[in-house]
Amino acid sequence: MNQSQYVNIAFITGASSGIGLELTRKLLSEQWQVVALNRSDFPADDRPIQEAINNGLLRVYKTADLADYASLRESLEAIKQKESQIDILFNNAGGSFPELRYSKQGREMHYELMTVVPYIILMELKELLYNGRFKTVINTSSSAHQFTKALNIEMLERPSTFRKLIGPYASSKLALSLWTQAVAPQLAKEDIKIRSVDPGGNNTIRKETGSGLPLLVKAMMKLFYPPPSHGADLLHEGALGMQRNETGVFLQRGRVAKLKFADQAQNVLSRVNTIYEEDFRERTI
């Protein structure tokens, strides 16, 4: 296949709403194909999206719950069987919860969904990345982690306290960026680049109840935050822009930024890899 015939394929989790939906729209408009892994359906009244689905340019895989390993395993197996390549992998799915919740595996839900699951997806889909051209992974992080005052594995998995946004959500996003940093040298040997990117503040408020956002933040979002296309642009820039040759870095406003608790990066990586090997992979075998 020559350059002019090459088809670029992006993989996006959480692609059916918010930043993920806007990123999907942006990439489709640039003639990319998109493989989406979602819990919910794409908007039925979005004609371009529905046309892309009907034409096979947007291929949708459903999971009941990304943080439920049985459901995640089934979805990833279907993707590996049906897809041949991934050029850029966007680990974008996330969420903020109003109180402490735990996954079926017994770990705090923010940590399971936004720290551990992105690692599992990366490890499981590496073979498809090998077949791609860009061989790039973008993990959606957050500048909220600047409010994290302490970090350890026990706190991540079973917090003793809870605060909306600046509690388990923030520390889980920090842990995501830390393992991103730690795993980069290993992936570089396999010609894969990985970065974590802060998509900035976006008005992603939806109608459903049970938000994990403090009331003041919700009010500010409605009044002052840009639409989710802003965050999609930052993720797109993080993947294909000026920092495209960097690996292991955390990008904030398009620039490399320092991470707190960098001395814990290897510990976080070791723990998420152990979870992958013992809780996810062994049960697959």
Residue 128, SS3 per DSSP: helix
Amino acid making up residue 52: A
Residue 5 tokens read as 């015939």
pLDDT of residue 205: 65
Residues 161-198 have pLDDT tens digits of: 999 888 999 999 999 999 999 999 999 999 999 999 99
Q: In order of start, what are the domains of the chain with their CATH numbers? A: 3-284 (3.40.50.720)
Exposure string of 52-71, with b = 16+ CB inside 10 Å and e = fewer, is: bbeeebbbbbebebbbbbeb
Residue 194, SS3 per DSSP: strand
The H or E element spanning position 10 is: strand 9-13
Residue 229 tokens read as 């296309």
Q: Rounded to 5 degrees, what are φ and ψ at 169? A: -60, -50
Helices 69-82 + 117-130 axis angle, to 10:
10
Residue 50 tokens read as 């529905």
Q: Using CA atoms, how far apart are residues 246 and 243, in angstroms rounded to an integer?
A: 5
- Global pTM value: 0.93
Q: How is the beta sheet containing 58-62 ordered, strand by strand?
A: 58-62, 33-38, 9-13, 88-91, 136-140, 193-198, 250-252, 255-257
Residues of the chain with pLDDT under 50: 1-4, 209
Place of tokens 């500048």: 143
Residue 65 tokens read as 């719950």
pLDDT of residue 1: 40
Residues in the chain: 285
pLDDT of residue 248: 98
